[in-house]
Amino acid sequence: MKGDVLVLNSGSSSIKFGLYDGEEPALPLLGHGQIEGINGQTRLSAFDRNGESVIDEVVGDGLDHGQAMAALVEWGRQREVARDIAAVGHRVVHGGTLFDGPVLVTDAVLAELKKLDPLAPLHQPHNLAGVATLTELQPEMPQVACFDTAFHRHVPELAQRFALPRKYHDAGVRRYGFHGLSYEYMAQALPDIIGPTLASGRVIVAHLGNGASMCALRNLKSVDTTMGFTALDGLPMGTRCGNLDPGVGLYLQDEWGMSSAEVSELLYYRSGLLGVSGISNDMRTLLASEELAAQEAIDLYVYRINRELGALTAALGGLDALVFTAGIGQYSAPIREKVCALAGWAGIKLDAAANEQHGPCISTKDSATSVWVVPTNEEWMIARHTRDVLNSAAG
């Protein structure tokens, strides 16, 4: 491929971007940044390949997604950074049952993806707004959609099923799983970092960021994961509840008179670490707090990680390696320590000094299951997919 790859991750209030050199086999990062404060005070910040700031400015007030994207495109044009962009790769959270890999965006593809908005209301509409705006601004630019669900698309059918009549499953009411771009990055990075034999065994990756999930890998393929139909399921997260008896939602509506919008707001925005602590969704704040409620939120978080570790280990029939990644997984030695302390049942023995230094290997030599810290890189994965899709489209 000739030229660069621009990666866009359009969220509810920000658009993150990264620029990669598509002509180099290793796809090195040329620069990155974000537009924050969409629908508020909108700020553009960007960094070059050395991490030096190249802009940090308010670019407008109350800009919507389209206007923010236009500001980004215009800045790129003026700085001539956009001159060599050959393709744009988008993070799109939901690919439904149709897409099991990245796809070149067409009107028909976009129409299919829009149908999935209700399955990921927090992310999908914003992801697609990025695609639609760029299509308007630069209709000739090839765009590739890369999905968080795709990596889990071929987990065994039992792991995809809810215990509902089949017609619901056939109509798309099934467990999809998310964070697939992170797990896919792991699958391609792990052989080099933890060794090919261990990597192809029974591995659980814990993606612990503001969103959080865990994935069971066998032979570097997803066999089960903690998230399901929406990105609410599984582990408690920054503001999302994680696994919850579906009866709770019914009860709150029937007995407390809460509307479905109120229940949705509770489960997506006012639960998880924030909801339990009443203090913050940020693990750093909770770890630094003396409040009992902060401790309670951390304890529940760790308890639930250990419980899911047990469930996924059962799905794998044993465990060879546990890998921590994403914000909390990569940077929080205390959380990893607490998880490993509860996971003695899996033969895990933590090397405290290695854990303080963030690994990569943080288990002792005699630990029956080895434990690792490996940074994820979803944006790079999107850049790789985008280049691959373009190269195969070019024949």
Q: Does 84 bind ligand AMP (CB under 6 A)?
A: no
Question: How many positions of this chain bind ligand AMP (CB under 6 A)?
Answer: 12
Residue 122 carries which side chain, given as an amino acid letter? L
Q: Does 23 bind ligand AMP (CB under 6 A)?
A: no
How far is CA 167 from its chain centroid? 29
Which one, of 339, 344, 349, 374, lies nearest residue 359 by Cα? 374
* Interaction residues for ligand AMP, span 180-219 (CB under 6 A): 209-210
Task: Report helix, strand or coil for 217.
Answer: strand
Q: Which of 4, 148, 224, 233 is catalytic?
A: 148
Q: Which stretch binds ligand AMP (CB under 6 A): 67-75, 135-143, 225-233, 323-331?
A: 323-331
Structure tokens belonging to residue 339? 């998880």
Residue 88 carries which side chain, given as an amino acid letter? V
Q: Does 238 bind ligand AMP (CB under 6 A)?
A: yes
d(CA 308, CA 298): 15
How far is CA 278 from its chain centroid? 24
Give the residue with the Cβ less far from ligand AMP, 186 or 283. Answer: 283
* Neighbour count for residue 350 (Cβ, 10 Å): 21
8 A C-beta contact, residue 44 and residue 32: no
* Neighbour count for residue 118 (Cβ, 10 Å): 10
d(CA 339, CA 337): 6
Give min distance, CB of 203 to ligand AMP, in A: 19
d(CA 114, CA 108): 10
What does the radius of gyration of the chain's CA atoms come to, in whole angstroms? 21
Candidate list 229, 269, 303, 331; residue touching ligand AMP; CB under 6 A: 331
Candidate list 133, 271, 332, 355; residue touching ligand AMP; CB under 6 A: 332
Give the residue with the Cβ less far from ligand AMP, 221 or 358. Answer: 358
Q: Is 148 a catalytic residue?
A: yes
Give min distance, CB of 182 to ligand AMP, in A: 9
Residue 236 carries which side chain, given as an amino acid letter? P
Give min distance, CB of 239 to ligand AMP, in A: 10
Give min distance, CB of 311 to ligand AMP, in A: 23
* Interaction residues for ligand AMP, span 340-379 (CB under 6 A): none
* Interaction residues for ligand AMP, span 264-283 (CB under 6 A): 282-283
Give the residue with the Cβ less far from ligand AMP, 94 or 240. Answer: 240
Q: Which residues form the interface with ligand AMP (CB under 6 A)?
A: 209-210, 238, 282-284, 287, 326-328, 331-332
List residues with catalytic annotation. 148
